[in-house]
Amino acid sequence: MTQPTHDGGLVYPESPSQTAGPFVHIGLALEVAGLPPRNGEIGPDIATVDAEGEAVEIIGTVIDGNGDTVDDILVEAWQADAHGVYQTDYRSDRAFRGFGRSAPGADDAGRWSLRTIKPGRVAHPSGKPMAPHINLMLFARGINIHLHTRLYFDDENEANAACPFFNALPPSRRNTLVATRDPHDDTPCYRFVIHLQGPQETVFFDF
């Protein structure tokens, strides 16, 4: 229902929020949904082996307030290239796309993954460089509005310590954004656990 304003205009009330529903994978993760991919499908490969920079893999899980893995999570990621520059062209023939999408398959035990390069340092609005990070957005049933968070790297201690964005967070919460490098993998692999609720709740942002 619209309501008139004092100047004769109309005010449209905010539409009620809806969850992503059970069909989000049909539209955004066709392979996981058992459907053939489209041309130029956006998947977990943010960068190819030809991309400039250090190749890394991210393996993540999302945990709900009961401590259970969220199996139907869909994660979108975007990041700067090795020089700290965000790309605006997501054509599939680029070595670095800058944007990716991942969801656990039926045999993945709730794990999602991304293949990319470690991003360069992007300037904070203050002009100071931020630590290398990947921006993440989460969709799932039960999440009324998609969640925004970030992933930082545990082997970037010096950059993290100097990052104005990272250090604006309470010290006790910063580690919820830090992915841990697995020392047993030849290609650098970082493990990242996102907690939706509870004492270890990940920091989420209103972007």
Residue 10 domain-assigned (yes or no) = no
Residue 1 domain-assigned (yes or no) = no
State residue 110's pLDDT score.
Answer: 87
Residue 157 domain-assigned (yes or no) = yes
Query: Which range (18-22, 44-48, 52-56, 88-92) has the least confidence?
Result: 18-22
Residue 82 domain-assigned (yes or no) = yes
In CATH, what number is assigned to the domain containing residue 119?
2.60.130.10
Instruction: State the pTM of this model.
Output: 0.83
Contacts with 177 (C-beta within 8 Å, 6 or more apart), sequence order: 133, 149, 150, 151, 152, 166, 169, 202, 203
Residue 68 domain-assigned (yes or no) = yes
Domains identified in the chain, total number: 1
Instruction: State which residues form the domain around 58.
Output: 18-195
Residue 206 domain-assigned (yes or no) = no
Residue 6 domain-assigned (yes or no) = no
Residue 2 domain-assigned (yes or no) = no
pLDDT tens per residue, range 97-150: 899 999 887 778 889 999 999 999 999 999 999 999 999 999 887 777 889 999
Tell the burial category of 183 from Cβ atoms under 10 Å away from its Cβ (0-12, 13-18, 19+). Answer: exposed
